[in-house]
Structure 1
Amino acid sequence: MTGTSLDKGEWVRGIAHWRDADTAYLSVAFTWRLPEARRVAEYYRAIGVKRVIAGGPGVFTQRKYVAEFAEIGDRIPDAIARHNPFATRASYGCPVGCWFCIVPKMDGKAFTFLPDFPVRPVLCDDNLSALPADYQQHIVNRYVRAGVPLLDANSGFEPATFDEEVFARWRPVLKGPWRFGFDETTEGEAVARAFRILKDISPRKKQVYTMIGHEPFDVCMDRIQRVIGAGGEPYAQPFIKLNALVKEPAVRHDWTPLLLRQVQRWVNRRLWRKVPFADYDASAKTSRLRIAA
Structure 2
Amino acid sequence: MSVRRHIVAQNLFSKQWIVGGGAVRLMPEYFNDLSNVTVGEDIKGVLQIFNPMATRTTIGCPQNCEFCGVDKIEGEYRELRDYPNLPIICDSNLTASSMEHFERVIVRLISIGWCDFNQGLDVRLMTQDHAKLIAMIKNPIIRIALDSDKLKDKWTEALEMLLSAGIAKYKIGSYVLIGFNSQPIDDWRRCEYVENKGIKALPMWFHSLDAMEHNVITEHQKELGWTERKRKHIMGWYYKHRGEKPIFVTND
TM-score (norm 1): 0.74
Q: Does 1:241 align with 2:212?
A: no
Structure 2 residue corresponding to 1:84, chosen from 43, 47, 51:
51
Q: Which residue of 1 aligns with 2:130?
A: 166
Letter in 2 for 1:102: G
Distance of 1:92 and 1:44 partners within structure 2? 36
Query: 2:234 is paired with a residue of what secondary structure?
Result: helix
Structure 1 residue 198, shift from structure 2 partner: 2.9
Structure 1 residue corresponding to 2:188, chosen from 202, 216, 221:
221
Structure 1 residue 140, shift from structure 2 partner: 1.8
Query: Is contact 1:238–1:249 with CA below 8 Å preserved after alignment?
Result: no
Query: Is contact 1:266–1:277 with CA below 8 Å preserved after alignment?
Result: no
Structure 1 residue corresponding to 2:247, chosen from 260, 275, 278:
278
Q: Does 1:137 align with 2:130?
A: no
Query: 2:112 is paired with a residue of what secondary structure?
Result: coil
Structure 2 residue corresponding to 1:93, chosen from 55, 60, 72:
60
Letter in 2 for 1:267: Y
Letter in 2 for 1:125: D
Letter in 2 for 1:140: I
Distance of 1:262 and 1:120 partners within structure 2? 36
Letter in 1 for 2:118: N
Q: Which residue of 2 aligns with 1:121?
A: 87
Structure 1 residue corresponding to 2:112, chosen from 144, 148, 156:
148
Distance of 1:130 and 1:271 partners within structure 2? 37
Structure 1 residue 38, shift from structure 2 partner: 4.2
Give the helix-richer structure, 1 or 2. Answer: 2
Indicate how the Cα distance of structure 1 residues 266 and 44 shifts in structure 2: closer, same or farther if over 3 A, else same. same
Q: Which residue of 2 aligns with 1:188?
A: 152
Query: Is contact 1:208–1:232 with CA below 8 Å preserved after alignment?
Result: yes
Query: Is contact 1:153–1:174 with CA below 8 Å preserved after alignment?
Result: no
Q: Which residue of 2 aligns with 1:10?
A: none
Query: Is contact 2:179–2:226 with CA below 8 Å preserved after alignment?
Result: yes
Query: Is contact 1:94–1:103 with CA below 8 Å preserved after alignment?
Result: yes
Unaligned runs of 5+ in 1: 1-33, 281-293
Structure 1 residue 270, shift from structure 2 partner: 4.1
Letter in 1 for 2:62: P
Deviations 1:126-152 (A, max 9, x none): 1111111111012122334xx323431
Structure 1 residue 43, shift from structure 2 partner: 5.1
Distance of 2:138 and 2:149 partners within structure 1? 28
Query: Is contact 1:63–1:72 with CA below 8 Å preserved after alignment?
Result: yes
Query: 1:159 is paired with a residue of what secondary structure?
Result: coil
Distance of 1:168 and 1:92 partners within structure 2? 24
Distance of 2:226 and 2:201 partners within structure 1? 19
Structure 1 residue 211, shift from structure 2 partner: 1.3
Distance of 1:58 and 1:114 partners within structure 2? 23
Structure 1 residue 41, shift from structure 2 partner: 7.7
Q: Does 1:261 align with 2:232?
A: yes
Query: Is contact 1:93–1:103 with CA below 8 Å preserved after alignment?
Result: yes
Query: 2:155 is paired with a residue of what secondary structure?
Result: helix
Unaligned runs of 5+ in 2: none
Q: Percent identity?
A: 22
Deviations 1:220-249 (A, max 9, x none): 122111101111110111111112111124
Distance of 2:11 and 2:133 partners within structure 1? 46
CA RMSD of aligned residues (A): 2.4
Distance of 2:100 and 2:158 partners within structure 1? 21
Distance of 2:9 and 2:245 partners within structure 1? 48
Residue-pair matches, total: 240
